[in-house]
Amino acid sequence: MMQNPRIFLLVALAIVLWLNYQAWVRDYSPAAGVTASQTALAPVKRRDLATELPQAAAESGGKPAPAAVPGVPAASAADSGAGIVHVRTDVLDLDIDRKGGTLRRADLPRYPQVKGGSVPVRLMNADPDTLYLLQTGLTGAGDSPHPTHLALFESDRADYTLGDAGELRVPLHWTDGNGVEVTKTYLFHRGSYRIDVEYDVVNHSAGTWAGAPYAQILRNDPPTKSSMFDVQSRAFHGPALWDGAKYRKLNIADKDDSALKLDVTHGWVAALQHHFVAAIVPPADAAYHYTLGVEGTQYLLTVRGPSRPVEAGATGHFEQNLFVGPKLQAQLESLHPELERVADFGHLYFLAKPLFWLLQHIYNGLHNWGLAIIIVTFLLKLAFYPLSETSGRSMAKMKLLSPRIKNLQETYKDDREKLGRAMMDLYKREKVNPVAGCLPVIIQIPVFLAFYWVLLESVEMRQAPFMGWINDLSSRDPFFILPAIMAAAMFVQYKLNPQVGDPVQQKVMMIMPLAMSVMFAFFPAGLVLYWVTNTLLSIAQQWNINRRIEAAKKN
């Protein structure tokens, strides 16, 4: 039976290969290939997602909503002849287009693209190559005009700044020319990436007016190839949603996902990328209709609410909640209890979530994510101590048996069947379980993977320093010092445990720590810090167990 640390090393290698296999599947999945070939061989009329309107539920005897607002010419999403309203808060720098009140630029001043740099991360933008817009409006059935994302709004000012206030209101005004007046107000909050959108409708007309609120994310999101040398490329990017019961990531190259039509209560939709997100959170008190439209590498993710009437002489109120910014889990959870899922921890969410919770609480006391990782690793080692103790005692006994095992290998070197029986008899006489070393390693696999996704996806650790040369725990060690320490520690661990197998196998296993450190060199420094800490604690524990077993043997 293969023994620790051979199991430990080979399992780690298997994890690395599995992560790269996942990346390969994303890049070269059959669905993506079929879609690309169909697009090339069967050209069809392209949809203009920028001018599409969600279909409002028809009123009694009404007509479906038109494809565009009457009197408004079709235009590309990047065009804006209406003018821009510039908004600055303490955490956001945005441009709101007066055509539709669309969010067409969103910069995050607190998150530079490069640590120490002056250029902020940009989410919303109107560049056709990286198009990313957040469109909102009220639509309706019939031919009457509505304040959609294609309608023209008026603004009292061209520039708004939060200043010392706790919130900032940015109103936009629209009228249909027949007595219906709508004020669309963006509400910003200090220190928050939440954006509230409110519609106040005043109906001075002679008849009933009806509107259905909607919001949609329009994005050009061409696929990128994943690489073990690029942390960001391994994170999911694309549309996702919470359907009221479960979290779903959508593949725009998949036929079923690209034709999504779903009625959801208390859900949300989002456009994901590494560390940052744009999300739409409809009110929880009504069912909203979710759709996904795809044209090439562009997608339009829409939520539309039920149509509500505003009687003649009456007023109406509609509202929506948006989020544009980093995946700060506390802010996300305050907007929707499941919105923190956009910090995409994968299938091991149930493990990653408590690990992050523990990391966060320790960080709150120490204000250093690296120290928090070390302490959490120590606590995990403490929690697994009973299993590790059992495994360690088995390994210590195996080490004491190494000379006798080597003798058996020499005696039966030409007969593997007799060698196997002789070794099993030896284990039985000495009451040693050669399988006992496997269990702690197997248990650590999901913990390791959960830690991997926590450190990869948690924006809280983006550009977070630890000490000295490590100034970003979410990126690789710039000088590969931690991987070198990891290689040395894993070699010591290897020498501390019994050497099994023939001489050639032993030499191969001696190279494994170096091979593993090379592969881990491109993992987040925080993950390597966890692995180094765990290995050093394992060495200390095994050394202590070996010392006690040898002392007992002498006595």
pLDDT tens, residue by residue, 45-104: 567 888 888 866 544 333 444 444 333 334 444 555 569 999 999 999 999 999 999 999
CATH number at residue 252: 2.70.98.90
Contacts of 30 (CB under 8 A, 6+ apart): none
Residues 326 and 408 in one domain: no
Shared-domain flag, residues 530 and 398: yes
Strongest mean pLDDT among 78-82, 376-380, 507-511: 376-380
498 and 455 in a common domain: yes
Cis upstream peptide for 5 (omega within 30°): yes
The answer to whether residues 454 and 495 belong to one domain is yes
> Do residues 408 and 297 both lie within one domain?
no
Answer whether residue 22 shows pLDDT above 90: no
The verdict on 216 and 114 lying in the same domain is yes
Regarding whether 490 and 417 lie in a shared domain, the answer is yes
| Residue 13 forms part of a structural domain | no
Question: Are 233 and 166 contained in the same domain?
Answer: yes
In a domain, 334, yes or no: yes
pTM of the model: 0.82
Q: Answer yes or no: do 322 and 364 share one domain.
A: no
CA distances from 64 to 54, 56, 142 (A): 10, 7, 6
Last residue of a domain, one of 286, 318, 344: 344
Q: Is residue 22 part of a domain?
A: no
The residue range of the domain holding 424 is: 356-554
Digit-coded pLDDT (tens) for 386-432: 777 766 667 767 767 777 877 887 888 778 888 888 888 887 887 77
Q: List residues bridging with 247 in a β-sheet.
A: 242
542 is a domain residue: yes
State the total domains in the chain: 2
In a domain, 6, yes or no: no
> pLDDT tens, 304-319?
999 999 999 999 999 9
Same domain, 340 and 361: no
Q: Which of these three, 320, 344, 368, is where a domain ends?
A: 344
Does the residue 14 lie in any domain? no
Mean pLDDT (the chain, rounded): 83
Other residues' Cβ atoms within 10 Å of the Cβ of residue 300: 22
Judge whether 25 lies within some domain.
no
Dump strand ranges (E) for 403-462: none
Q: Looking at 312, 344, 376, which one is the last position of a domain? A: 344
Number of H helices and E strands in the chain, helices first, is 12, 20
Pairing between strand 84-88 and 120-122? unpaired
Share of the chain above pLDDT 70, in %: 79
In a domain, 463, yes or no: yes
My answer on whether 542 and 509 are in the same domain is yes
